[in-house]
Structure 1
Amino acid sequence: MTDTVAEVLPDYNDALDPLGDVEAGQAKNRAKVGSARPSSLLYTYGPGAIMDLPNFSVMPAGLDDWEPIWKRREVVPTILEPRLLNVVRLHLGPQVDALRPFPWQPKKGVLSNEGSDLGLPARVFPQWFRCTGCDYLGPLTRFTYTNTHPFRPDLAQFAHKPCPGRGGRGRRAGSPAVAAQHLLTCTNGHLDEFPYTLWVHRGATCPNAESPELKMRDANVGRSVGSTIICQACGTTRGMAEAQGSKGREKLPQTCRGRHPHLGAFYPGCRARPALIMMGASNLWFTSTQSIIIMPRSDAEKKEALGDQLRVEVGIDQIKQFGEQVPVIRALAAARNIDVTGLTDADIATAVAEVLAPPESDEAREERQANWDPIELLIPEWRYLQKPALFPEQQNNTGLMVTEMQRGPDLHRYVARVVGVNRMKRVNAVLGFTRLDEMDRVNDVASRLVTLTRTAKPTWVPATEDRGEGIFLQLDLDAVAKWEKTVEGSALWEAHRKAHRRNFARRFSETAKILDPDTRLPGPRYWLVHTFAHVLIREMAMYSGYGAASLTERIYAWNDASQRESAAGLLICTTASDSEGTLGGLVALAEPARLQTIVRTALRRATRCSSDPICAMRTPTDPEDFLHGAACHTCSFASETSCEKANRFLDRRFLLDLPTADGPTVPGFFGSSHGI
């Protein structure tokens, strides 16, 4: 925290950013404090999230702090995928020129040191701690960091030394300290420490001390809810339960300080009202990502990729200097392992012109972004899966290997095609994150997306490459279209539509613009394919050797609106972030005899639920606003890592004629269990 920023901050909590003061001009602790898989950094613990370690919590830092780590390498690795990079540029601006992996390097052996100088920088957050021995509550500077074992980062902790203990039983060796769990956040994504000193004194200062010592005591079971803050100087107490709810929000500071801890900076001028949030709350951090499955590139896409390669590997300065000398550009590209064989001088000149072309105006980009539909990322994949090669050995080197499989004689007639995805590679890119509300609940308002850099215009974003396998099933498109028309006029679909409207009215972000909630409701065919994917995930987990949480879905389900061909299919896949990928246990289930047994068994299991008849009859009625019908944890719900819609938009009645169903219902797409 610089002096310039400190001058504009309110004085209600002077020590909220202690490390920002004490670290100025001093060497920083670069010790390893933990580890995480790339997938968890992508979806759970990315920049701006709070990662729980055994003894304290840290927050992965923004991309500005990654640069010193990457400077330890002469060449920064990048992930080249133009189709995904264009989507990132659409959301973040044309200045984004690369997708970078996390700063990590595999080791050649157990005792080797490759990659030991790499890692994801993180800040300790929250920076207010409570002593477990005496209940002392204070900023991080009042505690001692200890970790005596260089190979045991899990032993790192903060301790209160010396600790007087409770009842005069002192512990001079010190007591472990834990993070204080109360925080303040706002709808603009800012996150701040809770102003405990101001809170306990009800907005005033302590009459007996300028910087009084505080204690936080947990309430006795059965007496009250929450913790109590005690001022040791004047004896004032106040419970944290008063800060909860809408009434409690009125007692909190009325202005947000605009703090982004992952950037180590404040942005004064935020007009949002702060709200209390607990450290482990599920709505503290929502990542915003986009992902694609890498497919063979057309000649046009290869030429487009060349421009991105030249921009990243050769650099803008050299392209500007030698742009008119195609042989020099060709030599520079070859020196950086860019394959330009087979490309004419005109192709290279076109790529250079693309790199040097003026960027698209913000107005034009925002207009394209407003009209952009995430389905556009899925359409090329759907089209490619329509005509896969018959022989895997004829595939290219893009990492995608698919095989058209024969249909078993007993496979349901509405499963039109089966494709075994022997190998696949998926690339995921991080755009930013939101707090309190997911991006799809704030009308994709760009201002609600918290930036990953201090400049608000990143030149690169983190990305991961996952390798794996899967099975693609395509439903009969004509049968789906006919069934969908029947469902759209049913009382059950109208009940789901009204529940979706009520859900938006009650839970829609307070920051969102007014929009028609029906535009965010997937059509009946999505509910059908989505429910089918869930019952298959449960059944395939019993045969594939993978846990159900390791299997994920990718749903292709949309009608022929907006001048695009309709789709109705699903990809069940498993991916891993390591170089070896997966072991083939899932794609082996695409064999005709095995798949028809799995599909038949999955559908038959879906006809019964141990919660029936309650589950089979579940239909939302006013004032209920849940976004599922005949589906629950017993029969249809999947883990958070498997479902792309958080277990919303599921109903077994769209899949089958349930024998216990009553009230509003529709013809099940696959009919009754007797015909399966």
Structure 2
Amino acid sequence: MPKPTIRSAQLISPFGVGSLCEIDGQSFFVRGTGSWAKGYNLEKVEVGSLTNWLRPRQLRKPTESVAILRFPHWHFCPECRKMTRWTQDKDRENIRDDGSLPRPACDGGKCKNARLVPMRFVAACDNGHIDEIDWYWWAHRAHEPAQHGACSRQTSRLHFEVTGKSGGDFSSMVIRCSCGSSGNLEGIADGPLPQKCRGHQPGEQSSTCVDPENKQNPGAPKPLYMEPRGSSSLHYASVISALDIDGSTEKNIWEKLRADAIYQNTLQMATMLVGLQGGDTSLTIQTSRPSLEARADEVGISIEDALACFEADLGANPVEAAPPPPANEISQQSILDQEFPVLTNPKGQNSRWLIARPEKPSARFGLDKLFERFVRVERLREVRAFRGFQRRNVSEKHAMISPSLGRQQPDWLPAMMVLGEGVFLEFSNSAIADWREQNKEQIEEFTQSHLVGAEALGLPGRMGFNANPTFIMVHSFAHLLLNQLSFDCGYSSTSLRERIYCGTDSEPYAGLLIYTADSDAEGSMGGLSEMGAPERLEDVIYRAVSRSQWCSGDPVCRELDAQGVDGLNRAACHACSLVAETSCTFSNVLLDRVLVSGDGRKNGRGTLEPVGYFSKVLEV
């Protein structure tokens, strides 16, 4: 086969370091950054809101290739069912003249070189390690060696058979050994596997794996659990994302000027003059104006902004700016806080990497009372940086594995730069405040346990959101709108993404960006930004809210107290509110469509539902 390839944007998620990706029926493990080719292969990526915080570390985008390894090694033949351990040595022995990898094939005479299939299951632990399942043990778990004669791991020949009984569950899957012993896979998913973790990552040196919760046997390794090879819980990527907002907020504009060495010299001299003049700054500002005009023109900001920054610095007698936080303290929420004022600027934005054109919603469906503005984002540039990953769960109890997979951490993180377009909606703070006040008891009843559960798992800090009822409502509406937009604008649902802006209860704000950002042409066709025109977007919103009133899973879906991952959803299932993993940045949790379109009545279980934020849209 040709060299295995994936789309470059997928290298951050879902096929980042430590993940398993299937290409042409073969399964590969993406190795750590310490194994990637360097030099010309790694192109530097910069975006202000990430680059400044990451220093001295950098963001690097692979341009040619990354290191992969075939995993799992165990394969089986779909014809004769014989299991073969296809290692890296076999790849080297069978490599083709053009350097491409061979396709693992069965060497049985009757199988006619049938292509081998990777085993469906692997073993993983909560510390982020991944390993092969001990198939030899499963074949011999119920048999004594004396019953079938001598047998060893080195000489045994295993077969993976499916009997077809019991509806195809684990009890119908059998591992059979050439010595005559066999065992089915019943119980393989019920708890820890009999084997213990050895700190393994394919292609990397094994490390120690200690279970701190094992008080009876301190120093014991973590237990391993079976995971399907294609399971999303096998790899939860921690990705931090930033739009290139071109330094448009007042804070960022001033920081651009303060980074200028000549400006700092001017400020230092001006501070001395102010001291000699008894604290009077008027004359100093007047005499410094020519220098400030030159610096403003050089830096690329207005003289008004330069004067405002200069006056503030003189009045505050500034000290040296505090250093940026370390890379492991980067907050996704802080990045969103920077982006929101730019997207909500009533004058819009027209820079190299961000073109935003705001418009006021009309009175149709009463949307002018629910939203401050709609924004057509005709161009955007997003940078996604891969910080690490977890296995089996995203809670704080599960270790975060760095992109180096245990090796010495390099001075860069894998990143990807993508272009796209989108639609941004700014919610009305007063409308949200009124909605929450009028439905206070019902909203708290419907959201409290889920918010507490999310906090207990540490999701807000890791995923980058403020956990409150407003977030659940905006997030639920985002999924409904995303699905409706995919129908109306021609994009596939997997190519659209959400970006949710939500403040705290003490500093409230809310916004939603639905955008497409990919490394190919599908990121810039123009169809999505055109939907941002009020006359089009209002109809889309009405249809999305209207469809949320009923789900084919109702009344079960609507009346469940908890469903989904860790029970963190309420009225949300695959038939109504869940979207593709590539589209949702919060793993499809904290969703409840009742907060969007609820009618305030009692449901079938006698629970009084809150009135949805968009309920009046349906009354028009």
TM-score for the superposition, normalised by structure 1: 0.70
Residue 131, structure 1, aligned to residue 77, structure 2 = yes
Unaligned runs of 5+ residues in structure 1 are 1-30, 104-117, 165-169, 308-339, 345-356
Report 1:143-154 matches (<5 A): none
Residue 403, structure 1, aligned to residue 343, structure 2 = no
Give the superposition deviation at 1:495: 4.3
Report the equivalent of 2:586.
Answer: 645
- Sort the Cα spacing of 1:435 and 1:582 in 2 relative to 1 into closer, same or farther, 3 A: same
Report the equivalent of 1:179.
Answer: 118
Give the superposition deviation at 1:194: 1.9
**Identical aligned residues as a percent:** 24
- Sort the Cα spacing of 1:213 and 1:86 in 2 relative to 1 into closer, same or farther, 3 A: farther
How far apart in 2 are the matches of 1:567 and 1:49? 36
Report 1:462-481 matches (<5 A): 462-481=414-433
- Sort the Cα spacing of 1:622 and 1:237 in 2 relative to 1 into closer, same or farther, 3 A: closer
Task: Kindly tell me the number of residue pairs found equivalent between the two proteins.
Answer: 537
> 1:399-426 CA distances to partner (integer Å, 9 max, x unpaired)?
0111122333425121121111111111
**3-state SS of paired residue (1:489):** helix
> 1:346-396 CA distances to partner (integer Å, 9 max, x unpaired)?
xxxxxxxxxxx9x989xx859x83xx7532111011111221535x6xx22
Report the equivalent of 2:157.
Answer: 214
How far apart in 1 are the matches of 2:564 and 2:72? 39
How far apart in 2 are the matches of 1:269 and 1:625? 25
Name the Cα RMSD after superposition.
3.9
Give the superposition deviation at 1:613: 4.5
Report 1:64-103 matches (<5 A): 64-67=34-37, 70-71=38-39, 76-86=42-52, 89=54, 96=57, 98-103=58-63
Q: Is the 8 A contact 1:146 1:158 kept in 2?
A: no
Give the superposition deviation at 1:436: 1.0
Report the equivalent of 2:336.
Answer: 378
Report 1:545-560 matches (<5 A): 545-560=490-505
Letter of the structure 1 residue corresponding to residue 229 of structure 2: M
Report the equivalent of 2:3.
Answer: 33
206, 228, 239: which is aligned to 1:266?
206
- Sort the Cα spacing of 1:451 and 1:549 in 2 relative to 1 into closer, same or farther, 3 A: closer
Letter of the structure 2 residue corresponding to residue 557 of structure 1: C
Letter of the structure 1 residue corresponding to residue 131 of structure 2: D
> 1:132-186 CA distances to partner (integer Å, 9 max, x unpaired)?
34333242259677676969x7x9411233x15xxxxx45x54432222332221
How far apart in 2 are the matches of 1:624 and 1:487? 26
Report the equivalent of 2:313.
Answer: none
Q: Is the 8 A contact 2:516 2:523 kept in 1?
A: no
> 1:103-140 CA distances to partner (integer Å, 9 max, x unpaired)?
2xxxxxxxxxxxxxx32221111112223343332422
159, 168, 174: which is aligned to 1:228?
174
Letter of the structure 1 residue corresponding to residue 244 of structure 2: I
**3-state SS of paired residue (2:388):** strand
- Sort the Cα spacing of 1:214 and 1:543 in 2 relative to 1 into closer, same or farther, 3 A: same
Letter of the structure 1 residue corresponding to residue 160 of structure 2: R
Residue 459, structure 1, aligned to residue 415, structure 2 = no
**3-state SS of paired residue (1:243):** coil
Report 1:51-70 matches (<5 A): 51-67=21-37, 70=38
How far apart in 1 are the matches of 2:618 and 2:68? 57
Q: Is the 8 A contact 1:200 1:230 kept in 2?
A: yes
7, 10, 15: which is aligned to 1:45?
15
Letter of the structure 2 residue corresponding to residue 180 of structure 1: M
- Sort the Cα spacing of 1:463 and 1:148 in 2 relative to 1 into closer, same or farther, 3 A: same
Report 1:612-631 matches (<5 A): 612-616=554-558, 618-620=559-561, 626-631=567-572
Residue 430, structure 1, aligned to residue 386, structure 2 = yes
**3-state SS of paired residue (2:485):** helix
- Sort the Cα spacing of 1:230 and 1:636 in 2 relative to 1 into closer, same or farther, 3 A: closer
**3-state SS of paired residue (2:477):** helix
666, 669, 673: which is aligned to 2:610?
666
Report the equivalent of 1:279.
Answer: 229
- Sort the Cα spacing of 1:123 and 1:303 in 2 relative to 1 into closer, same or farther, 3 A: farther
Report the equivalent of 1:528.
Answer: 473
Letter of the structure 2 residue corresponding to residue 654 of structure 1: L
- Sort the Cα spacing of 1:580 and 1:493 in 2 relative to 1 into closer, same or farther, 3 A: closer
Q: Is the 8 A contact 1:188 1:450 kept in 2?
A: no
Letter of the structure 1 residue corresponding to residue 381 of structure 2: K
How far apart in 2 are the matches of 1:432 and 1:622? 27
Unaligned runs of 5+ residues in structure 2 are 211-220, 262-295, 301-319
Q: Is the 8 A contact 1:555 1:569 kept in 2?
A: yes
TM-score for the superposition, normalised by structure 2: 0.76
Give the superposition deviation at 1:274: 2.0
How far apart in 2 are the matches of 1:304 and 1:101? 29
- Sort the Cα spacing of 1:642 and 1:276 in 2 relative to 1 into closer, same or farther, 3 A: closer
- Sort the Cα spacing of 1:666 and 1:576 in 2 relative to 1 into closer, same or farther, 3 A: same
User: Which is further off, 196-205 or 379-388?
Assistant: 196-205
- Sort the Cα spacing of 1:570 and 1:62 in 2 relative to 1 into closer, same or farther, 3 A: same
Letter of the structure 2 residue corresponding to residue 494 of structure 1: E
